[in-house]
Amino acid sequence: MRVSHFAHDPDPDGLLPECGRRSRDVTSADHLYVRAATQTWLRRQGHQPRYRYAHRNDAPVGPIVEIELDGHTLLVHMDPTAPPDWDTAQAGDIILGPGVSIDHRTLVRRGYVHHVQFVSEGNERVMTLGTELPWIGTDWDFELADCTVGEDGRLITPVVTRVEAARAARERAPVPQPRQEKAERPVQIGALTRQIGSAVQKKEFPAVRELLNTARLQVPRCEGQALEHLRRAIDRAQDLLSEQDRIRRGLFVGLGEAVRHGHVVTVTKLTSQARKLLDHDVEAAAQEAGILQAADAFLEQARLDRAQKRREEDARRAAEAEEWRRRRDAAATREQQAPLVAQAQERRARNRARGQVQGITGRLRREAPSAQQQRELVQELTVAAKNAGDLLSEAEQDKVQKWTTKSAAPVEEPGTAEDASPVVQPRREVAAEPATLPDRLAPAVAAVRGALKKGGPGSDLDQLEPAGAAARLRAPLPHRQRARPGTRPDRQAHGRRRAAPVVPAGGG
């Protein structure tokens, strides 16, 4: 339900109160929601309510809402800065607004007190009623439609109905008559006060509560000094029970919060404390029993979760142990097989070396490498033969020995000495008397001499001496001038002119 902050009605004198709504928060209009929530409810009961918003000079409009009902008044006290006047003769009943409290002694004396609170639901403010009882707290678990206003102007809630029914049942119960005379009544009150004092000192809460109820029933029957002693005993008992109820409420509130937040350690600790407290006090109320039940269910689920986690941890450890054993066995197997593997690897390496020996000896046999190439191949052959070891047959070992010995012998390639010598050989002097050539070589010498003359300057005619010619015919050709297999001897390198062959005259 929504109410405009301009909804103030004139007071009985016809004056409009000043409104400061715009400078305050949403709670400043709660006094208007009191009327909006209760007017229809009261009219359905046959009442014609009239509303008056009273206030002090230093307070805003609406701290006190007076609802006039056929000569009686329901007073809604909404000012937390000033306590209500409980002895107001005009008030049929007083309802405390948000933030307004009542002291414990007044609450015990009255038996109960009503509260009102407002809750925002979207753009609306909803009013709810509650009834507070001593040592129990405020019960909000009922609707406004479940409440009525009696002929005496009192607000009757379902909680008040239960309290009055229990009180009527106690009053109907027979009260044992004292055996002593009226003059001995102070002795009975004295015994009761001593029992209350002893129970308070020992903190026997069930006994204190029972004796306190008995003492309250004895108050109307006492007077004078006995009444004064009894009231002091009642006050001490009420103070002890108030502190016990405060601890009890705090314990169960903390237990409920711990359950909601999932604090296992705190729930375990507070549950144990709550059960010990209940063992030395009255039984748990419905709300307390519900909190204990929720705590027990929470602890049971936590126990199941721990058991599941422990099983998972055991399974993980078993899997790790199995993996460690598997690796250990695999390492032991590898260690046992290491010699066999090494032997196999060595055998494969020696087989490869034997293949290299066979390949190198084949190359040396098929090809005609130069001396340098032959030395390199023989070096490779020696290394391969050493790696092959006793895998070589006797024939293969003989071949290796043969090529090693052959490579160790000095080999001089044709033309190497002349090319390597940096000294210029002196020109040999022509003999004074050349040797006489055979008659059959005379035509050949003449032809060669003519060819050399055609070759131009620089031709050495002295080299045609019989001794020089014979020496050159016997000397081997240089390696680079040797004819390669498959080529013609008279074919020279690309770009060079082919020399004319020497043809002996006469064809001899």
Q: What angle do CA 184, 185, 186 make, to 5 degrees?
A: 95
pLDDT beyond 50 at 186: no
Structural domain range at position 142: 1-167
C-alpha span between 191 and 197 (Å, rounded)? 10
> Of 117, 142, 167, at which residue does a domain stop?
167
Q: Region 428-443: what's the mean pLDDT?
A: 57
Full DSSP string of 340-393: HHHHHHHHHHHHHHHHHHHHHHHHHHHS---HHHHHHHHHHHHHHHHHHGGGS-
- Is residue 206 assigned to a domain? no
- Is residue 504 assigned to a domain? no
Q: Phi, psi (5° rounding) for residue 356?
A: -65, -40
What distance separates the 2 farthest-apart alpha carbons in the chain? 196
345-350 long-range contacts, CB within 8 A, separation 24+: 349/387, 350/387, 350/388, 350/389, 350/391
Per-residue pLDDT of 137-158, as tens digits, reads 888 888 888 899 888 888 899 8
Per-residue pLDDT of 89-141, as tens digits, reads 455 688 988 888 888 888 888 889 999 988 888 777 888 899 998 877 888 88
Better-scored residue on pLDDT, 231 or 508: 231
> Of 390, 408, 426, at which residue does a domain stop?
408
Query: What is the CB neighbour count within 10 angstroms for residue 131?
Result: 26
- Is residue 84 assigned to a domain? yes
Per-residue pLDDT of 439-482, as tens digits, reads 667 677 677 777 666 655 545 544 444 444 444 444 454 444 44
- Find tokens 């004796």 and name the residue: 211
| Structure tokens that stand for 415 in this block | 């033309």
pLDDT beyond 70 at 294: yes
- Where residue 271 falls (left for φ over 0; alpha for ψ -120 to 50; beta otherwise) is alpha
Better-scored residue on pLDDT, 259 or 502: 259
> Which of 250, 243, 239 is CA-nearest to residue 274?
250
Q: What angle do CA 17, 20, 23 make, to 5 degrees?
A: 175
- Is residue 482 assigned to a domain? no
- Is residue 462 assigned to a domain? no
Per-residue pLDDT of 36-72, as tens digits, reads 888 888 888 888 889 888 765 555 556 788 888 878 8
pLDDT in the model for residue 130: 92
> Of 115, 149, 167, at which residue does a domain stop?
167
- Find tokens 């099983």 and name the residue: 311
C-alpha span between 297 and 486 (Å, rounded)? 106
Which of the four pLDDT bands, split at 50, 70 and 90, describes residue 437?
A: low
Q: Which of 258-272, 358-372, 440-454 has the weakest average pLDDT?
A: 440-454
- Is residue 247 assigned to a domain? no
Strand-strand pairing, 91-96 and 72-77: parallel
pLDDT in the model for residue 308: 93
Per-residue pLDDT of 300-337, as tens digits, reads 999 999 999 999 999 999 999 999 999 999 999 988 88
- Is residue 147 assigned to a domain? yes
Query: What is the CB neighbour count within 10 angstroms for residue 412?
Result: 9
Per-residue pLDDT of 335-347, as tens digits, reads 888 998 898 998 8
| Structure tokens that stand for 117 in this block | 């609170």
C-alpha span between 361 and 378 (Å, rounded)? 9
Q: How many domains does the chain have?
A: 2
As beta bridge partners, residue 137 has 133
pTM recorded for the entire structure? 0.34
- Is residue 273 assigned to a domain? no
